[in-house]
Amino acid sequence: MYDYMTYCLRQYFRAIGWNDDNLYSNLCSASRAILDFQTPCGFTFEISKIQSPMFNSSYSMNASPTLNGSISYLFTSRPLVIEPSFRLNFVEMIDRFHLDPLARANRADNMRGNNEEIKPINDYLLYGRLYIPTGRLEAICSRRFSPWMQCIITGVSEPRMKAAPHCTGELQYDAGKWCTEVSYTTDGELFGLRGLYNLSNHGSEGNIEHGEVFANKKEVTTNGIKASVVERNEFDEQSNSDDDDVVEALKGEWSIGAELYYGIREKNGGVSTGIRYRTLPQFSAQSPLTVTYIFNPFMGHMSAAFAAQVSEDLALCPRYEFNIYSYESDLTIGAEWWQRESIDDVNAVSNESPKLKGDVQGVIKATISTGKGITLLWEGRYRKTLFGIGLVANLKSGSPIQSFGLQFQYFS
């Protein structure tokens, strides 16, 4: 489950229309949501306040095992639509398996319209968080320069650590069809360059909206009058239905990307490359799925994952990792099950009536790994608060229970 400030950050990027799924750093976001979720450690309670649509504050307390806490504030140039914890859509608070790619049409062309000049954009975000009593300070500053470019600067300062404070600057350019990221980190003087290119051309198929179903007709114009003409007769449609299903199943989006990084202080670098295939939401005949493959030739590490939503409330994902130099491998299998509120249909008169399903009110995640053991997480809502219960266990070690945590969130 996202904490309150992370949820506000996501709402900000949604408000400005920024697509995080088009970044190479989020190439495996679908599988990570099922397999690499974070569990609470100890007891954590967070209370937040929506001071105004552009200003939010949050206060947290954690006992794990010593008592500590944090104070955080966030200010945005654009008002954010944030509902209280007892009324918001619970799905927006969880890191879940989802496929929701935006249209890949060039953003610059969309903003220009009919030969109009692009209006300047002055969206920005300021965020700060202070940990007590360690004095650790985290800060984020985001500035958007144009519809397709923004800069994000993050900084961390730890007074109790001998290491000097460090910050990271990242410039992102998203043209829709492709996206690049340039970054620099003062810790180790590390330079990085990432790029992602989408091979599909579905953005030119008429700006199809999410969930739209294609008709099996073709509109033609004759003498200025538009008419719908059925291209096949009944016999042809029946004989070619199987071929149409095969063509429909092959429609999706292929994306390829790479990452280059070099550290001046350590005088070494690295490279990684990846490929992803995922279905598109406008083709409703397909089940949502995504396949990713990442390879780092310098480290010899490769990772392959397959995530799919097998039913309306269940998503599964296996991932296999292997190192070609050490021959070490790890297999992780995870599942995500959504819990919905029950709705009684007063109009149902027989057992054959379809059962109604309500909104998502909870999610259960579980993973089992050959190297990391078992991880369990249950997130849900109780009255006006959001809660999360997590457990990490490894039956191979001397103490099977490695960590257990309980988290509560409330904001209004």
Which sign, positive or negative, has the C-alpha torsion 62, 66, 71, 74? negative
Q: Are 379 and 388 in contact (CB under 8 A)?
A: yes
Phi, psi angle pair for 8, to nearest 5°: -65, -40
Residue 101 token pair: 């790619």
Structural domain spans, the chain = 4-203+212-344+354-411
Q: Which pLDDT value is given to residue 69?
A: 93
Q: Which pLDDT value is given to residue 120?
A: 61
Q: Which pLDDT value is given to residue 102?
A: 52
Mean pLDDT by 10 residues, the chain (412 residues): 91 89 91 93 92 93 88 94 89 85 47 49 92 92 92 91 84 93 91 92 42 35 36 43 50 90 88 92 75 94 95 94 94 94 59 65 94 92 92 85 92 89
CA distance 117 to 57: 37
Q: Which pLDDT value is given to residue 11?
A: 92
CA distance 315 to 85: 25
Instruction: Identify the CATH assignment for 4-203+212-344+354-411 out of 3.30.390.50, 3.20.20.20, 2.40.160.10, 2.60.40.10.
Output: 2.40.160.10
Q: Which pLDDT value is given to residue 162?
A: 72
* Sequence-separated (6 or more) residues with CB below 8 Å from residue 178: 195, 196, 197, 198
Q: Which pLDDT value is given to residue 257?
A: 96
Q: Which pLDDT value is given to residue 250?
A: 57
Q: Which pLDDT value is given to residue 101?
A: 56
Kindly report the pTM of this predicted structure.
0.81
Radius of gyration of the chain (CA): 24
Q: Which pLDDT value is given to residue 174?
A: 93
